[in-house]
Amino acid sequence: IDALGKRGASRYIIDLRGTSMGDMDDGVAAARLFVKDATLAIRLGREDEREPIVGEPTDGAITAPLALLVDSGTAGAAEVFAAAINGNDRAELFGTNTLGRASRQRLVKLPDQSGLWLTYLRYLTPDGDPIHETGLAPDVDIEQPEVEFGDEAPTPDVTLQRALERLASLSAA
């Protein structure tokens, strides 16, 4: 961000499409760069225990306008990040509904050598809405073209174009 700012960038697009890896805490840590002194997410434990994750007054160093690109491949840490940014009115989501996989799970081995995935923690948006199994709905829903496996995505990228248009209409922070 610093290097881009030195080259004149004043607005940013973060492309989270197809991003499904990473630890949930990394999504929260990334959100801290953009959100100051507010609820970033809520952890929901096994007995409906809610643990808010709150940003610090020293967080939120990046104040420039943002747009986030999401799709059905956006999951996990990327969803937690997007929920924190969007839920604190720092950016709009452009694209399609995200996957809805924002939880911590562990594999429990059973006596017959099979296994069971056990969900023991789920992440909620700053407003307390579930992310896991529902995903995040975009603010600007953009139908995605069907692309055959191995083919290149069509150009222009309609989702990116819509986000660029929206950011161009905003004044820099």
Amino acid 130: pLDDT? 96
- β-pairing, 91-95 vs 140-141, is parallel
Nearest CA among 99, 85, 69, 67 for reference residue 30: 85
Q: Which amino acid is at 131?
A: I
Cβ contact 35:85 at 8 Å: yes
Digit-coded pLDDT (tens) for 26-67? 999 999 999 999 999 999 998 899 999 999 999 999 999 999
- Return the residue matching tokens 């604190």: 88
Give the C-alpha separation, 55 to 57, whole Å: 7
Q: What is the pLDDT of residues 80-125, one digit of tens each?
A: 999 999 999 999 999 999 999 999 999 999 999 999 999 999 999 9
Q: Which residues of 23-36 are buried (b: 16+ CB within 10 A; e: fewer)?
A: ebeebbebbbebbb
pTM (2 d.p.)? 0.91
| Other C-beta atoms lying within 10 Å of the C-beta of residue 15 | 19
The Cα–Cα gap between 147 and 2 comes to 35
Amino acid identity for residue 25 in this structure: D
pLDDT of 171 > 70? The answer is: no
pLDDT at residue number 75: 97
124 forms beta bridges with 42, 130
